[in-house]
Amino acid sequence: MPRLPYPDVEELPEDVQNTLKQLPVQLNVFRMLAHATTCFRPWLRLGTAILNELELDPRLRELAILMVARETQCSYEWAQHAALARLVGVPEEQVGAIEQGREEADIFNPVEHLVLSTAKALLTSARLDDERWNRLVAVFNPRQVVELCLVVGFYSMLARVLETTGVDLDAPFAETLSSSVGR
């Protein structure tokens, strides 16, 4: 049960109503964020860019998001992105290891370890220490470094909104995608 009621779509500004109606799947996260009428469309555009337009490997993006979801204890984000991680090729064993707090397990390669540890570090400090920073810029180009920081920041912000407002869990969006692709 949400701690804040979902808005009545018909009472939202027309541009927000139209945007909601055009979404391929009606998720509770979209409905809740529609309360922020001036931020809703820019937030959605940024989220879409993060999911579809990054140079950062989608598997690494999803590992970072799963780390954020676990560290912020955001069950909605976890449910959505565990399924999406599997869809983009993250092995079940890695998803389970993150869920269990075993992100240092040998099943992750050095780059994956770096992404996971960077995501975790960014949740506790706005500035990475020099050692981690140097490792990050040795592996990733400037665009990918900034994208990783944006992924962690975006999903950290979203986790706080989701958990604070108590957004109801939806079926994972990735499952909807998989089933519609198979038709």
- pLDDT, tens digit (0-9, with 9 covering 90-100), for 103-144: 999 999 999 999 999 999 999 999 999 999 999 999 999 999
Token pair recorded at residue 126: 């706005």
Q: Enter the pTM of the model.
A: 0.93
pLDDT of residue 155: 98
The domain tally of the chain equals 2
Does residue 23 sit in the same domain as residue 80? Answer: no
Domain extent at residue 169:
58-174
Residue 24 vs residue 85, higher pLDDT: 85
Task: Please give the pLDDT value at position 29.
Answer: 96
Q: What is the pLDDT of residues 1-29, one digit of tens each?
A: 899 999 999 999 999 999 999 998 889 99
How many C-beta atoms lie closer than 10 Å to residue 153's C-beta?
15
Q: Over the chain, what is the mean pLDDT?
A: 94
Question: 177: which residues sit within 8 A by CB, 6+ positions away?
Answer: 87
What is the CATH classification number for the domain harbouring 125?
Answer: 1.20.1290.10
Do 73 and 151 fall into the same domain?
yes
Q: Using pLDDT thresholds of 50, 70 and 90, give the confidence band for residue 163.
A: very high
Would the pLDDT of 77 be above 50?
yes
Asked, for residue 3, whether it belongs to a domain, the answer is: no
Radius of gyration, CA atoms only, the chain: 17
**Type and span of the H or E element at 165:** helix 142-165
Are 90 and 154 part of one and the same domain?
A: yes
Question: Is position 146 within any domain?
Answer: yes
What confidence tens digit (pLDDT) does each residue in 51-72 have? 999 999 999 999 999 999 999 9
